[in-house]
Chain A
Amino acid sequence: MENPHNIKKTCLNDQHRLLGAKMVEFGGFDMPIEYSDIVSEHNAVRTSAGVFDVSHMGEVRVSGPQAIEMVNHIFTNDVTPIANGQIVYGMMLHPDGGTIDDLLVYRLADHDFLLVINAANIDKDVAHILSQAKPYNVSVEHLSDSCGELALQGPDSPRIMKDVLSLDVDDLTFYTFKITHLDGQQVIVSRTGYTGEDGFEIYASHELTVKLWQQLMAAGVTPCGLGCRDTLRFEAGLPLYGDELTDTISPVEAGLSMFLKPDKEGGFIGRDAVATQKANGPKRRVVGLELQGPGIARHGYQVLDDQGMTIGEITTGYHSITLDKSIAMALIDSRYAAQGTQLLIQIRRRTVPAIVVKKRFYTPNYKK
């Protein structure tokens, strides 16, 4: 366990406590898991809007004459074809194909990129990026400690961006961003998120992040904790680092091959390992499961074949709030990964039948 004295706080920590949030340690940060309850916060995002403090996310800026080559060297996707103002999702890999982290890359300018990484991986990622950057003519700036971030998510978020925060977002489509100014300060506004709904992420100074948060609270926007962030992303089939992606799970195994560009110029770290997995088919795969009996499949529960032999384990499972059924994602032997395959999940002393289904349980509503 972390030493409690080393737990970091985001710039909104006082605001969470003011709202009476239930706080937990996540990724080394003292974070709100819920303010009222997970179900109503989840439903707010699906039906109207909710705002999350995601200031715990890490930000690293890579700029300089060789920024494209440097980012492409550590990143599975390809930043060459994207325009300034576009964002691309992908991973950083170990040479064996295991995942160091999944991340967003923002192209700020021709030779200037912002990498947005997971809170729990900040130290590991920054060390990796710095060591890999050495041979390149780039500068690497670690901005996590000075950058606040809000995620406003849900179908009402475009209206709230305009009416409450005076941010015009009509020109933003999914996975694009712009740099604009509020109160004379620079902010980055992107049409991105982690909920399966339309929405925005706003990167700003700590001071401005607090101010924007307070404006959203005053306007009655629902504050949302990490609890519903997990139930929302799970329903949309989005991976969480630590569950569906880890140092020992590759993106091919996680079903994320579309974010790998093994044929791009120069390749990337881990390229050969994932190209081989992709060509031969991975031995394990992340699949969706729908339970056919009562119970909830939690992270780490064993998945069995219909003869009772262990073939994998649950990575995430919930009683889906939107779909009102018990579903899970699991990393299993790929011979059992075909949709419709009948499996069993060990839940305490019982086994519950489950069937392999698509892991995108809920169809996202993005503004493409």
Chain B
Amino acid sequence: MIKYLPTHEYINVVDNDTALVGVSAYAARQLGNVVYVEAPEADEEFSAGEAFGAIESVKAASDLFAPLDMVIIEANDQVLDNSRLINEDALANWIVKVKILDPSQLDSLMDQDTYDAHCAAEH
């Protein structure tokens, strides 16, 4: 299951309480060439809506927001070392793996159709 924030982070739930968090392909296209990703260390805890990192393209810096209450399991070192991977495949190249603290919060996030409509409306 993949859900989205209006600020273009996705959360890809891989089992009951583990998920991969990154930015959407749409966001990657809007940012253009990603040159740097800033992510937290393992075991750091974030509340829904809190900035947990940042993504920088040539053009701009954007904060990354936590989709829900979560604890960092690990950051994706491959992406931190080569952030351009996000432009190639934003879904495969997640930024942090997290432990979901309250799965009920997933219900309030956007599903794919709602998110696609949200992106279309931004244009």
A: which residues have CB within 8 A of B?
A: 33-34, 37-39, 227, 231, 294-296, 298, 318-319, 321, 326, 348, 350
Closest Cβ neighbor of B57 among chain A residues: A38
> Given A33-B59, A38-B58, A227-B58, are A295 and B33 neighbors across the interface (CB < 8 Å)?
no
Could you give 10 example pairs across A and B, Cβ below 8 Å?
A38-B59, A39-B33, A39-B58, A227-B58, A294-B36, A296-B36, A298-B60, A319-B58, A348-B38, A348-B54
Q: Looking at the complex, which one of B51, B54, B56, B63 makes contact with A319 (CB distance below 8 Å)?
A: B56
> Given A294-B38, A296-B61, A298-B61, are A37 and B32 neighbors across the interface (CB < 8 Å)?
yes
Residues of chain A with a CB closer than 8 A to B51's CB: 348
Interface of chain A: mostly helix, strand, loop or mixed: mixed
**Other A-B pairs, 11, CB within 8 Å; known A294-B38, A298-B60, A348-B38:** A38-B32, A39-B32, A227-B32, A294-B36, A295-B56, A296-B36, A296-B56, A296-B61, A318-B58, A319-B36, A350-B38
Residues of chain A with a CB closer than 8 A to B60's CB: 298
* A114 nearest CB across to chain B (Å): 33
* A129 nearest CB across to chain B (Å): 34
A298 to B60, CA, bound (A): 8
In B25-61, which residues have CB < 8 Å from any A CB? 32-33, 35-36, 38, 51, 54, 56, 58-61
Interface of chain B: mostly helix, strand, loop or mixed: strand
Q: Looking at the complex, which one of A38, A296, A326, A350 makes contact with B33 (CB distance below 8 Å)?
A: A38
Residues of chain B with a CB closer than 8 A to A319's CB: 35-36, 56, 58
* A231 nearest CB across to chain B (Å): 7
* A2 nearest CB across to chain B (Å): 20
Closest Cβ neighbor of A318 among chain B residues: B58
Closest Cβ neighbor of B56 among chain A residues: A296
* B33 nearest CB across to chain A (Å): 5
Judging by beta carbons under 8 Å apart, are A37 and B36 in contact? no
A294 to B55, CA, bound (A): 12
A39 to B33, CA, bound (A): 7
Residues of chain A with a CB closer than 8 A to B35's CB: 296, 319
Most chain A C-beta atoms within 10 Å of own C-beta, residue among B32, B54, B58: B58
A174 to B29, CA, bound (A): 38
Residues of chain B with a CB closer than 8 A to A39's CB: 32-33, 58
Judging by beta carbons under 8 Å apart, are A295 and B36 in contact? yes
Residues of chain B with a CB closer than 8 A to A318's CB: 58
* A325 nearest CB across to chain B (Å): 11
Residues of chain A with a CB closer than 8 A to B33's CB: 37-39
Closest Cβ neighbor of A228 among chain B residues: B58
* B87 nearest CB across to chain A (Å): 9
10 tightest CB-CB pairs across the interface, nearest first? A319-B35, A39-B33, A38-B58, A296-B56, A37-B32, A298-B61, A38-B32, A294-B36, A37-B33, A296-B36
* A111 nearest CB across to chain B (Å): 45
A172 to B84, CA, bound (A): 41
Closest Cβ neighbor of A326 among chain B residues: B36
| Binary per-residue interface labels of chain B (57-89) against chain A in the complex, 1 for a CB within 8 Å, 0 otherwise | 011110100000000000000000000000000
Residues of chain B with a CB closer than 8 A to A227's CB: 32, 58-59
* A30 nearest CB across to chain B (Å): 16
A37 to B51, CA, bound (A): 27
Closest Cβ neighbor of B60 among chain A residues: A298
A318 to B57, CA, bound (A): 9
A202 to B56, CA, bound (A): 35
* B19 nearest CB across to chain A (Å): 24
